Amino acid sequence: MVSKKPAENNKEVAQEKRETRGWIFAVVFLFIIIMLIIFLAYVDFKESNRDVLVGLFGVLFGNIPHMITIASGRSPEELDDLKDKLGSANADRQALISRLRDSQIQLQLARQQIFELQTAVIEELSLFRGKKPIKSLHESDVVLPELVDEWSPKS
């Protein structure tokens, strides 16, 4: 078993405590919001205080999704980190696709150049000058050795 450094253990313990405090605060905050909703269901307010209360409650209720994510075990920092990692992975993927495409283009270019070089050498050889050295142009023109023909399916 690999032992961890004390600094790493302290960091992990501090992180766990921070996550626990965040989770407890999120649950308490949601409980307070629920109690506030119940309170608002039974109490009437004066018209003069309505704008202030609406602004205050808007701020409190606007934080509910954030608190729910913390209470469910997902911190917003983790989600941002995951988004950053995903963006980095997508960038790496695009770079690899580009490199693969470029290498395929270079490979095809090399094949064409070799083919053109072979054609030029064959055309310039005195033995083949003016003749077509490749006689079999179609699959039916190919004559197979007996051993290969023996294992071929009969039609």
Q: Would you list the DSSP string of 62-112?
A: HTHHHHHHHHTT--HHHHHHHHHHHHHHHHHHHHHHHHHHHHHHHHHHHHH
pLDDT of res. 63: 74
pLDDT in tens, 84-129: 899 999 999 988 888 888 888 888 888 888 988 888 887 777 666 6
Statement: residue 149 has pLDDT above 60? yes
* Contacts by residues 106-115 (CB-CB < 8 Å, ≥ 24 positions apart): none
Would you mind telling me the total number of residues written for the chain in this entry?
A: 155
Residue 2 scores a pLDDT above 60: no
CB distance 71 to 20 below 8 Å? no
Helices (H) and strands (E) in the chain, counts: 5, 0
pLDDT at residue 155 above 60? no
CB of 48 closer than 8 Å to CB of 20: no
Which amino acid is residue 27, in one-letter code? V
Q: Given this model, what pLDDT does residue 153 score?
A: 67
Quote the pTM value: 0.37
Which residue has tokens 């023109």? 141
Residue type, 107: L
3-state secondary structure of 14: helix
143 band by pLDDT with thresholds 50, 70 and 90? low
